[in-house]
Amino acid sequence: MSHYKTPVEDISFVLFELLKAQKLSDLPAYAEASEDLQRAIIEEAGKMAEQVLLPVNESGDREGCTFDPESKAVKTPSGFQEAYKTYIEGGWSGLSSDSEFGGQGLPHLLKIVVDELCCSTNLSFGMYPGLSHGAIDLLSQHGTDEQKSTYLPKMIEGRWTGTMCLTEPQCGTDLGLISTKAVPDADGSYAISGTKIWITGGEHDLSENIIHLVLAKLPDAPEGSKGISLFVVPKFLEDGKRNAAFCGGLEHKMGIKASATCVMNFEGAKGWLVGQPNQGLKCMFTMMNAARIMVGIQGLGLAETAYQVSLGFAKERLQSRSLSGPKSPDQKADPIIVHPDVRRMLLKQKLFTEGARAMAYWTGLHQDLSHAAEDETQRQVSDDIFQLMTPVVKAYLTDEGFFSTDAGLQSMGGSGFTQDWPLEQLLRDGRIARIYEGTNGIQAMDLVGRKLVMNGGRLPRTYFAELEKLIEGLDNDVHREHCKSFLQATQKALAWLAQNAPNDPEHAGAVASPLLKMFAYTTLSVMWANMAQLSHDEHVSERFSGDFLAGKRKAAEHFFRVYKGEQLALLDDVVAGKDTLMDLAENEF
């Protein structure tokens, strides 16, 4: 069944009214990215998502990927090869990539929009090109000229795909414990030996070649994370011979079953150093940061589909009468959307999807400005915001995207729990997003331990200054004060952290997650206040329906009513530090 329609109206509202993304075409790097072109891309991406990806989503989940132990080959579900061919023929794989190597050179913000549509309609499919985009970014920034010319054109075209090979059976987050070895060969290559697990797209039948980016240690490498190097290891070598990089089996997962998650065995495979020796982790963060934004968008995309399904269900499902009297007297019962508790769940979904879209796109806009703004100061400001917001987008959108999807299932009752409706698959598929590319607890520690202290604490200062500009532009005095209260609560939390964490680092670990959520709420408060203000603009009202704009205004009021108190509760959690959390001895659990 068709249960998803591209939310063109809301995407357009955020891009062209809230963020003024059409102004990107004023920058030389994005001169071709006119509003008309951006709108055309969104329209075509919506068709691709609805007509190509969505039809093979449910069947892909039921069929899954299959592994042949003899050939060590992986077969993707029926229809995926055709869908991938359509995807690359449409040029989607190179949308934001460098035009020097065949990409279209368009803003990353547009790629984020396309990623959302792919994740909304077929998350498993989106994993294949998604990891390739990260590999492309890494090689573009850290590869040699020869590596770029060898790999980038075909990866950007989509004929080759990419992976990131980090995790091993004995280590995940603590990559300093990896045991994969890289031994120098006489021809300048390296023999890569070791086992990697949970490798997305490690083996499949969609592309002609798979380019693995592998973390390994040189023979004389220092201990720990300072001794990690990065290598590019193709499945097929330039002469067409098969490299000694083989799939050892597929992981058995609760979701994203059509995404090939592989155990990869490197048996003396030929690889080439990327970047400097022992600097592999630094290089890999280029790919990980890109992947973390993509994963955050997964939470948004799944939640959007869940909202559309549960909202449609609530408008049609008849159950009991409204507490204030019959709303559909010609029917035996009223649709469940009349019931306050159902509305509570639906509003939670609406607030998340529309607010998270604004926050994610705002972050993506600053990613583009950090690269392409002509003014050096603007590039620095935007890079600060993008760096700080990356863990926030990844963690908040995947956490709350999952909870939002769960709210949609709950509002549908028993129907939501069945395979007759897509919510149960969305919930299973979305659960992993809170874990991979660094668990959300790790994202919070990245925020507290790295982003907040980088460059003498410049990133949060830049963030607050940028939000203060947006707050001062508000006409609504009440909304302005609400936003200030969110911002001030976060600043109080940071002041407490600065005073207490240096003497006891466990305090930082204890408060990291609630503090990350405070940054998300602060950003959302400013996004919602500005969206509400735009809903009153007479020029905006000429381009959007009255119901759409009224929904923005009323949703903003609900946001402030519900989340202002939650922000203060999070502040209480932060200033409590590790009290009670670290008090129990291990045998008292």
**Any idea which residues carry the catalytic annotation?**
437
Return the structure tokens found at 174. Answer: 């603590």
Distance CA(117)–CA(92), nearest Å, equals 12
CA torsion, ordered 120, 121, 125, 129, to nearest 10 deg: -50
Q: Which residues contact 139 (CB under 8 A, 6 or more apart)?
A: 147, 148, 151, 152, 155, 213, 232, 274
Distance CA(298)–CA(401), nearest Å, equals 8
Residue 226, number of CB atoms within 10 A of its CB: 11
Closest by alpha carbon to 359, among 530, 153, 174, 543? 530
By three-state DSSP, how is residue 232 classified? strand
Distance of CA 21 to the CA centre of its chain: 20
Backbone dihedral region of 495: left (phi > 0), alpha (psi from -120 to 50 degrees) or beta?
A: alpha
Alpha carbon separation from 260 to 157, 253, 287, 378 (Å, rounded): 21, 10, 19, 41
Distance CA(405)–CA(283), nearest Å, equals 34
Bridge partners of 274? Answer: 230
Closest by alpha carbon to 190, among 128, 234, 153, 144? 234
Distance CA(16)–CA(109), nearest Å, equals 12
Distance CA(142)–CA(282), nearest Å, equals 10
Beta strand spans in 376-420 (E): none
Bridge partners of 194? Answer: 266
CA torsion, ordered 225, 227, 228, 229, to nearest 10 deg: 150
Return the structure tokens found at 521. Answer: 């709420």
